[in-house]
């Protein structure tokens, strides 16, 4: 028995189960099924592709989305004109891009016109959510900049290059060596097989324009939020420091302003809640968020306004009877996690829609997980915002590379820093993983110190599986099918199982990327009933490890199938949940672990938030 999912479904209202058609023989039509679409992918058009505001932690009201149809060609195409179209922001190799072919070098082109209601003295910023891997940008045939890094956002001030009242040409040159290079690439490959998946070249997150004052707020850092004192320290970083610039910041609980401060723009600002206002903390049970509004003024005239949000949330390692365990907001919490690699059959690295991303998180929560390990990938910011709002903790990996040369090690360090700087505003993220399974591992002690300096508020997983460095806050083992505790006890680091499971239930052919005989996993399971029984056995083993050995967390492999790898709880196209609907309450025993052993569980669908 399986549960069929649809684009209009929610995690609370899944459709009735249908029979799992294990008896259907594979046909030639499903071999390497590049047309395998999700229900969200079926609804994608050039006019509705990722229309949402892409930066929820620094919001302005004016912006222009540049997603949609662009001209495209390979860089070795000798024709002067562009002869093909691509749908941005889907990777070149994806079905939804409309190109669906591997490439190492390519060019994108489109035109845009500055909206007439944007002030003439505004500067115009061109933002890219992410481009894999190197992007060189031209506006009206003039080079405005180059960026290297496949997972982090970047921007250019294109004001000197634009025409205010006529169309402008935007061209992006892309270079992505994939596994031929040493750059961080996660699990991407041009020869996908096993745990290596189809490469995602080019623009794969939203591209957009934004008008700003010549003096504007570049970033808004939430330096510290202390629930004990009812204070939040934030730093609105302005692009230029100049006399007569002042900042006003205020915190809102719903519609009520509960703290306000005025100050300069050259340092942090401290906001204090009143003694009568109760401080609410953020947790999976109650993901409470506070809104922030910041206004920049020049000679008392407002010139920039942004809004954001934050939460009071504390994650730490605490010893109980000499055993290090994980505490959230002063109480022990077992991290019952699921691995999510964030791949889609139609969009590869890019989800077909924002609702599709949201659905993945909702299903993980329905199944009783309280944390997602974002494995070897960094998602668009909206994904983390949904975790913030739905109460899903995130264990964030740095995507791996080979890191053999000194130049590639420098690049790895820069991209690691950018990941932390770009995503640290999200309270859902509680840990950073530096190296996974020894891939590209080097100078581990130096990176631990660097990450600690950049972000002292989160846990550090220095090395996940294989090569243990004895550094960081957690000691993490990987074992399939497992679960298996780390071999050695550590008196200073909490014990976590970073990957276990890999139970393989091959779905029906219409949900497969490949032939049945090519589908693989770590332990074959004959049917969904056996899958549930095996899950329950693993849950009991985890429960014993918690009670007798102080296990602090475990991550089940994995949320969805990916290409030939069929050990997900859902099929790759998200149309089939492999767990019978009547067994969902049994699978929630994952959540029961917290309820029974640590008294931390509650209704997973209770959302108390100040943001709609």
pLDDT band of residue 583 (cuts 50, 70, 90) is low
Using left for φ > 0, alpha for ψ between -120 and 50, and beta otherwise, residue 550 falls in left
* Residues in Cβ contact with 606 at an 8 Å cutoff, skipping those fewer than 6 apart: 285, 286
Within a domain: 67: yes
pLDDT band of residue 536 (cuts 50, 70, 90) is confident
Over 50: is that where the pLDDT of 603 sits? Answer: no
Alpha-carbon torsion (178, 183, 187, 193), positive or negative? positive
Whether residue 227 is found in the same domain as residue 205? no
Mean per-residue pLDDT, 392-412: 98
pLDDT tens profile 160-186: 999 999 999 999 999 999 999 999 999
Whether residue 180 is found in the same domain as residue 203? yes
Over 50: is that where the pLDDT of 23 sits? Answer: no
Helix (H), strand (E) at residue 253: strand 245-253
Instruction: Identify the pLDDT of residue 593.
Output: 47
Instruction: Identify the pLDDT of residue 266.
Output: 86
Within a domain: 392: yes
Instruction: Identify the pLDDT of residue 243.
Output: 84
Whether residue 166 is found in the same domain as residue 245? no
Are 250 and 259 in contact by the 8 Å Cβ rule? The answer is yes
Strand residue runs (E) in 409-493: 429-436, 459-464, 474-478
DSSP string, 365-394: HHTT--EEEETT----HHHHHHHHHHT-EE
Work out the number of other CB atoms within 10 angstroms of the CB of residue 169.
Answer: 14
Four-point Cα dihedral 188, 191, 195, 198, nearest 10: 50
Whether residue 438 is found in the same domain as residue 466? yes
Over 50: is that where the pLDDT of 539 sits? Answer: yes
Within a domain: 612: no
Instruction: Identify the pLDDT of residue 592.
Output: 52
pLDDT band of residue 29 (cuts 50, 70, 90) is very low
Instruction: Identify the pLDDT of residue 588.
Output: 52
Cα dist. 198→69, 90, 135, 376, 588 in Å?
22, 13, 20, 14, 33
Within a domain: 372: yes
> SS3 for 425?
coil
Q: Which domain holds residue 391?
A: 315-400+414-597
Last residue of a domain, one of 166, 197, 212: 212
Over 70: is that where the pLDDT of 585 sits? Answer: no
Within a domain: 30: no
Tokens of 462: 């220095």
> SS3 for 415?
helix
Last residue of a domain, one of 310, 337, 371: 310
pLDDT tens profile 119-168: 999 999 999 999 999 999 999 999 999 999 999 999 999 999 999 999 99
pLDDT band of residue 587 (cuts 50, 70, 90) is low
Whether residue 327 is found in the same domain as residue 394? yes
Instruction: Identify the pLDDT of residue 608.
Output: 23
> What domain count does the chain have?
3
pLDDT tens profile 296-306: 999 999 999 99
Within a domain: 34: no
pLDDT tens profile 479-519: 999 999 998 889 999 999 999 999 999 999 999 998 888 89
Whether residue 434 is found in the same domain as residue 325? yes
pLDDT band of residue 473 (cuts 50, 70, 90) is very high
Instruction: Identify the pLDDT of residue 414.
Output: 98
How many angstroms separate the CA atoms of 599 and 612, rounded? Answer: 29
Longest dimension (CA), the chain: 75
Over 90: is that where the pLDDT of 231 sits? Answer: yes
pLDDT tens profile 333-361: 999 999 999 999 999 999 999 999 999 99
Whether residue 463 is found in the same domain as residue 423? yes
> SS3 for 489?
coil
DSSP string, 565-602: B--SSB-TTSSEESS-GGGHHHHTHHHHHHHHHTS---
Alpha-carbon torsion (175, 180, 182, 186), positive or negative? positive
Over 50: is that where the pLDDT of 258 sits? Answer: yes
pLDDT tens profile 545-569: 999 999 999 999 999 999 999 999 9
> Would you say how long the chain is, in residues?
612
Whether residue 302 is found in the same domain as residue 319? no
Within a domain: 98: yes
pLDDT band of residue 606 (cuts 50, 70, 90) is very low
Mean per-residue pLDDT, 380-407: 98
Instruction: Identify the pLDDT of residue 350.
Output: 98
More confident call, 1 vs 3: 3
Q: CATH code at 280?
A: 2.60.40.10
More confident call, 425 vs 597: 425
Are 428 and 381 in contact by the 8 Å Cβ rule? The answer is no
pTM value?
Answer: 0.91
Within a domain: 587: yes
More confident call, 515 vs 30: 515
Over 70: is that where the pLDDT of 92 sits? Answer: yes
* DSSP assigned state of 94: S
Whether residue 269 is found in the same domain as residue 391? no
Last residue of a domain, one of 310, 342, 372: 310
Instruction: Identify the pLDDT of residue 81.
Output: 86
Instruction: Identify the pLDDT of residue 607.
Output: 22
pLDDT tens profile 306-326: 999 999 999 999 999 999 999
How many angstroms separate the CA atoms of 384 and 428, rounded? Answer: 7
Whether residue 373 is found in the same domain as residue 432? yes
Whether residue 238 is found in the same domain as residue 349? no
Mean per-residue pLDDT, 46-66: 97
Instruction: Please enumerate, as own/partner, the contacts of 139-143 that have beta carbons within 8 Å and a separation of 24 or more.
Output: 139/168, 139/169, 139/170, 139/171, 140/168, 140/169, 141/169, 141/171
Q: CATH code at 59?
A: 2.60.120.260
Mean per-residue pLDDT, 14-42: 48
Whether residue 373 is found in the same domain as residue 390? yes
pLDDT tens profile 385-395: 999 999 999 99
Over 60: is that where the pLDDT of 598 sits? Answer: no
How many angstroms separate the CA atoms of 49 and 534, rounded? Answer: 40
pLDDT above 70 covers what percent of the chain?
89
- For residue 481, is the peptide bond before it cis, meaning its omega torsion is within 30 degrees of 0? yes
Q: CATH code at 521?
A: 3.20.20.80
């Amino acid at each position: 028995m399986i549960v069929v999912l649809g684009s209009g479904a929610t995690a609370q209202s899944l459709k009735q189960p249908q029979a799992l058609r294990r008896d259907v023989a594979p046909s030639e039509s499903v071999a390497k099924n590049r047309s395998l679409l999700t229900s969200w992918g079926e609804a994608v058009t050039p006019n509705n592709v990722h229309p949402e505001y892409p930066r929820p932690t620094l919001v302005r009201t004016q912006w222009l989305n540049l997603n949609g149809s662009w001209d495209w060609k390979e860089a070795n195409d000798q024709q002067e004109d562009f002869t093909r179209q691509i749908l941005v922001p889907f990777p070149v190799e994806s079905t939804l891009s409309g190109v669906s072919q591997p490439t190492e070098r390519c060019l994108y082109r489109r035109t845009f016109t500055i909206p007439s209601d944007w002030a003439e003295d505004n500067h115009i910023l061109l933002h890219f959510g992410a481009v894999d891997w190197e992007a060189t940008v031209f506006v009206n045939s003039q080079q405005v900049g180059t960026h290297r890094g496949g997972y982090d956002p970047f921007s250019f001030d294109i004001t000197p290059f634009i025409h205010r009242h006529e169309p402008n040409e935007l061209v992006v040159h892309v270079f992505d060596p994939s596994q031929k290079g040493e750059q961080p690439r996660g699990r991407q490959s041009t020869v996908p097989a096993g745990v290596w998946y189809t490469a995602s070249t080019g623009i794969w997150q939203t591209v957009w324009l934004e008008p700003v004052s010549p003096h504007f707020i570049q970033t808004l850092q939430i330096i510290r939020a202390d629930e004990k004192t009812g204070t939040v320290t934030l730093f609105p970083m302005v692009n230029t420091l100049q006399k007569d610039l002042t900042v006003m910041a205020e915190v809102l609980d719903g519609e009520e302003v509960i703290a306000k401060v005025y100050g300069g723009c050259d340092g942090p600002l401290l906001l204090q809640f009143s003694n009568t206002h109760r401080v609410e903390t953020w947790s999976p049970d109650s993901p409470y968020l506070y809104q922030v509004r910041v206004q920049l003024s020049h000679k008392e005239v407002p010139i920039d306004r942004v809004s954001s949000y934050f939460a009071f949330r504390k994650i730490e390692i605490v010893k109980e009877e000499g055993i290090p365990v994980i505490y959230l907001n002063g109480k022990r919490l077992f991290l019952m996690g699921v691995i999510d690699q964030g791949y889609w059959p139609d969009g590869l690295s890019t989800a077909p829609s924002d609702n599709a991303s949201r659905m993945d998180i909702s299903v993980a929560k329905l199944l009783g997980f309280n944390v997602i390990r974002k494995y070897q990938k960094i998602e668009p910011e909206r994904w983390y915002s949904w975790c913030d709002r739905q109460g899903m903790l995130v264990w964030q990996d740095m995507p791996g590379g080979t890191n053999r040369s000194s130049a590639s090690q420098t690049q790895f360090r820069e991209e690691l820093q950018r990941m932390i700087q770009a995503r640290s505003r999200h309270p859902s993220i509680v840990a950073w993983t530096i190296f996974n399974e020894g891939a590209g591992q080097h100078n581990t002690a130096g990176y631990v110190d660097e990450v600690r300096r950049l972000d002292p508020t989160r846990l550090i997983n220095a090395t996940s599986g294989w090569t243990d460095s004895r550094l960081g806050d957690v000691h993490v083992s990987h074992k399939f099918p497992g679960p298996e505790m780390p071999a050695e006890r550590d008196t200073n680091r909490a014990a976590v199982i970073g990957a276990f499971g890999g139970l393989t239930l091959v779905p029906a052919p219409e949900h497969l990327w490949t032939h049945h005989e090519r589908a693989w996993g770590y332990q074959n399971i004959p049917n969904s009933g056996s899958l549930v029984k095996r899950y329950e056995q693993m849950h009991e083993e985890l429960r014993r490890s918690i009670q007798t050995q102080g296990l602090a967390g475990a991550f089940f492999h994995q949320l969805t199938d990916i290409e030939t790898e069929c050990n997900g709880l859902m099929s790759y196209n998200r149309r089939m949940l492999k767990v019978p609907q009547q067994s969902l309450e049994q699978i929630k025993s994952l959540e029961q672990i917290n309820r029974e052993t640590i008294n931390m569980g509650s209704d997973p669908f209770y959302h108390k938030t100040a943001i709609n």
